[in-house]
Structure 1
Amino acid sequence: MECVVQGIIETQHVEALEILLQGLCGVPKQRLRIHELCLKSGPNLGMVASEVRLLCDLEQAEPSWTVKHIGGAMRGAGAEQLSVLVRTTVESKVSRNALRFFYGLGYKLDYELLRVGFAFTFERGARITVAVTSVNKMPKLHATDEAVPVTPGIQLVEVTSPAAADNYTDVVAAISSFCEHLAPLLHLSKPGVPTGVVATAAAAAASLMSNGSGTTL
């Protein structure tokens, strides 16, 4: 399983967010350039449609591929009380022939994106990853060099952490605690819940930029 929250931030404040994250996380950032292809199953693969994502890390000298299936979110009164979405997920490394393989199985390309930005992965009560990316679309198939932003001036912030049935409450608590430090710059919530930009972002960003560095906590 994984725990996840998302939010958006104006591109003009991303540098301030990076300064804050550097201070909070105390680890080097990782550059991201992820080519994402979303595939959906055809009618020959069962009555219930399934969806998988093929992710290629273009930042690597030898681009590597991962296949990821995101399952349903945890349901019930207890799950609704959580500020973090808990959902099942399965992922595995695959060869560069994976796209051809899934086409052969009967999957069809639904959409493709290019996510460009950076991420921090660190331990803080759980193994947490914070990714800040510009989400881009391609004008033609697989043309990553021609990608343009889906929402110019806005970037996506996603906080995720792996979890299991016996520890997800601890992971949710760790994510919620960490996200409180980001509140002046952005609001994070479950995927699919609109958040918008935060009114205090400009002032918080100005303060961080004038300080010029974060403090490791």
Structure 2
Amino acid sequence: MECVVQGIIETQHVEEIPHEGLYSRQLRHLILFLLQHVEALEILLQGLCGVQRERLRIHELFLKNNPNLGTGSSEVRLLCDLEQTEPSWTVRHVGGAMRGAGADQISVLVRTMVESKVSKNVLRMFYVLGYRLDHELLRVGFSFQFNRGAQITVTVSSVNKMLKLHATDEAVPVTPGIQMVEVTAPASAENYTEVAAAVQSFCEYLAPLLHLSKPGVSTGVVPTAAAAAASLMSDGGGTPL
């Protein structure tokens, strides 16, 4: 099982750069897409987690099977980690969310999840099993992994779609100006309440910059995030927490 919450954070774009001739094309591109709010969130996470961030570049393929008579539909995700020297593959199946009074009383979604490392020919294998590609995405950003009452992972990424099949180099943002933040932690039927409490407690530290809620529940952006980001950027993340 896993506990998960999600949210979104705005990015700020620099509209103009003076003395254009002083910048290389790559540097100009970088500055034009300066992510002030995201940088502030990174500073905050660095202080809270005490570990270095990991770069994130994940190619996600969403596969669905063609249900035959007496067989229900199924969906799996194939994740290819493009940041590795040799791209590594993972297959993941996300099950349904826990329901009932206990689930309604916590602000963290608890759901079943099965995940396993696989070899690079996994896509061919699923095609043979009757699955077909439904859609694919490219997530680019960074993540933090640490222990704070539970083994928590925070990912901050832009979600991009491919204009051509598997053309990750030509991916374009699905929602320009917005990045997704996801906080997850593995759990079991015996300890999910403790893990959910640890995730919820950690998320309170991120409240100045973003709202986090159960997947599918849209809470929008924090109106005062710009002021919080400016404060974090001005003191380099030295604000006591």
Which bin holds the TM-score, normalised by the shorter protein? over 0.9
From 111, 114, 120, the counterpart of 1:87: 111
Shift of 1:11: 1.9
Counting only pairs closer than 5 Å after superposition, residues 98-117 of structure 1 correspond to structure 2 as 98-117=122-141
| Alpha-carbon RMSD | 1.3
Asked whether the equivalents of residues 20 and 214 of structure 1 are also in contact (C-alpha less than 8 Å), the reply is no
SS at match of 1:187: coil
Q: Which residue pairs with 1:8 in the alignment?
A: 8
Q: Which amino acid aligns with 2:45?
A: L
The structure whose Rg is larger is 2
State the distance in 1 between where 2:48 and 2:145 align.
Answer: 11
From 191, 199, 216, the counterpart of 2:215: 191
- The aligned length equals 217
Shift of 1:214: 4.6
Shift of 1:213: 2.7
Query: Where does the alignment leave 5 or more consecutive residues of structure 2 unmatched?
Result: 13-36
State the distance in 2 between where 1:83 and 1:209 align.
Answer: 30
The TM-score normalised by the length of structure 2 is 0.88
Q: Which amino acid aligns with 1:196?
A: G
From 146, 157, 162, the counterpart of 2:181: 157
State the distance in 1 between where 2:69 and 2:46 align.
Answer: 45
Higher RCO (C-alpha 8 Å, min separation 6): 1
Shift of 1:44: 3.2
Is residue 74 from structure 1 mapped to residue 98 from structure 2 by the alignment? yes
Residues 152 and 45 (structure 1), Cα distance of their counterparts in 2 relative to 1, 3 Å cut: farther
| TM superposition outliers: structure 1 runs of 4+ over 6 Å | none
Shift of 1:209: 0.3
State the distance in 2 between where 1:25 and 1:118 align.
Answer: 14
Shift of 1:215: 6.7
Overall identity of the aligned pairs, in %: 81
From 114, 126, 130, the counterpart of 2:154: 130
Asked whether the equivalents of residues 232 and 239 of structure 2 are also in contact (C-alpha less than 8 Å), the reply is no
Q: Which residue pairs with 2:85 in the alignment?
A: 61
From 207, 210, 213, the counterpart of 2:231: 207
Q: Which residue pairs with 2:45 in the alignment?
A: 21
The TM-score normalised by the length of structure 1 is 0.97
State the distance in 2 between where 1:88 and 1:94 align.
Answer: 20
State the distance in 2 between where 1:52 and 1:45 align.
Answer: 20
For residues 175-207 of structure 1, the C-alpha deviation after alignment (integer angstroms, 9 at most, x for no partner) is 000000000100000000011110110000000
State the distance in 2 between where 1:96 and 1:113 align.
Answer: 18
State the distance in 1 between where 2:11 and 2:125 align.
Answer: 37
SS at match of 1:43: coil
Shift of 1:47: 2.9
